[in-house]
Amino acid sequence: MAYSDKVLDHYENPRNVGRLDEDDENVGTGMVGAPACGDVMRLQIKVNKDGVIEDAKFKTYGCGSAIASSSLLTEWVKGRTIEDAARIRNTEIAEELGLPPVKIHCSVLAEDAIKAAISDVKKKRGEAVDAE
Amino acid sequence: MPRTFQVDAAELESRYKQLQAAWHPDRFTVADDSKRLQALQKTSLVNDAYVTLKSPLKRAAHLLALQGVDAEEHNQAHFGADFLYRQMILREQLEALGEQEDMAGLDAMKAEVSSETNAALEEFEALYGQGQFSEAKQRYNRLQFLFKLLDEIDAVEENLLDY
């Protein structure tokens, strides 16, 4: 199966790979996995006091589509508020990257990861976490 | 064969060979069309059954399916955050060992992950036996990550040996 140019670009030059300090109370960590492919994804955001995401980092062990989905998402969430970032849907990621149907679950994983990271930072700050 | 998680490998092999021989299409070359078709269908069923029973993962998924549990349906909360953290750390460790070409380290890691895998297999069997299918499914999902990791350790090792 051929990857789209956008997937290849993110796969070959992933943006924002790395980690943020998990113990920082302004850092939210989302750790998610896809058992069927054994993929594991860590997505972290650093949120300022106004609720704006100042930095985002990720590390993904998985296929090109999973790496590209998380890489693209870190680009998208930077500068957005966490409320705004929580509204990003996997379909937008899949569309932007031109993911084929068999790879849609990779974009779902990225959406799960940002939601988990947002819940984590909210929990750390003692804010109410939206029930899923 | 008994419907249990533990499978007697020797019995599986011998039953497979028996059934394969019994339904081998070569035996039905002069039979009528419907018999030939039946032989083909049986052969394919026997092959599927063999592949399923031989793999611990496929066997576990099949046992869950027999209880009406969809093994592939999952949500992130179900895996356990600690488990996912550990999976991430293990994959980072594997990456580092590969870069350092540390064969001894890779062997040690393989032994460690194998023992975690065996523990999870035992837990699956026990939970399934007790009828705790939701918990058993969680172990199945964990096993999917662990078997993938074992494959990846093998791939890194093979890569280094070729080099």
Better pLDDT: B75 or A67: A67
Are A38 and B147 in contact (CB < 8 Å)? yes
ipTM comes to 0.84
Question: Which residues are bridge partners to A53 per DSSP?
Answer: A47
Query: How far apart are the CA of B72 and the nearest CA of chain A, in angstroms?
Result: 7
**pLDDT tens by residue, B37-87:** 888 898 899 999 998 899 999 999 999 999 999 988 877 778 888 899 999
**A-chain residues near B79 (CB < 8 A):** 33, 35
Are B88 and A38 in contact (CB < 8 Å)? no
Are A36 and B144 in contact (CB < 8 Å)? yes
**pLDDT tens by residue, A36-51:** 888 999 999 999 999 9
Select from A38, A40, A112 the Cβ nearest to the Cβ of B88: A40
Better pLDDT: A122 or B32: A122
Are B84 and A36 in contact (CB < 8 Å)? no
State whether residue A116 sits within 8 Å of chain B by CB.
yes
Burial class (CB in 10 A: 0-12, 13-18, 19+), B75: exposed
**A-chain residues near B76 (CB < 8 A):** 32-33, 112, 116
Q: What count of other Cβ atoms lies within 10 Å of the Cβ of residue B88?
A: 19
Domain ranges for chain B, please list them: 9-54, 76-160
Which pLDDT value is given to residue A34? 92
**B-chain residues near A33 (CB < 8 A):** 76, 79, 84, 87, 145
Task: Determine which helix (DSSP H) or strand (DSSP E) holds A130, and give its type and residue range.
Answer: none
Question: Which residues are bridge partners to A30 per DSSP?
Answer: A43
pLDDT reading at A15 higher than 70: yes
Instruction: Give A98's contacts (C-beta < 8 A, 6+ positions apart).
Output: A4, A6, A7
**Best CA proximity match to A24, nearest among A1, A57, A2, A69:** A57
Query: How far apart are the CA of B141 and the nearest CA of chain A, in angstroms?
Result: 6
> B76-160: which CATH number, 1.20.1280.20, 3.40.50.12280, 1.10.3720.10, 3.30.565.10?
1.20.1280.20
DSSP A99: -
**pLDDT tens by residue, B90-146:** 999 999 999 999 999 999 999 999 999 999 999 999 999 999 999 999 999 999 999
CA distance B63 to B133: 10
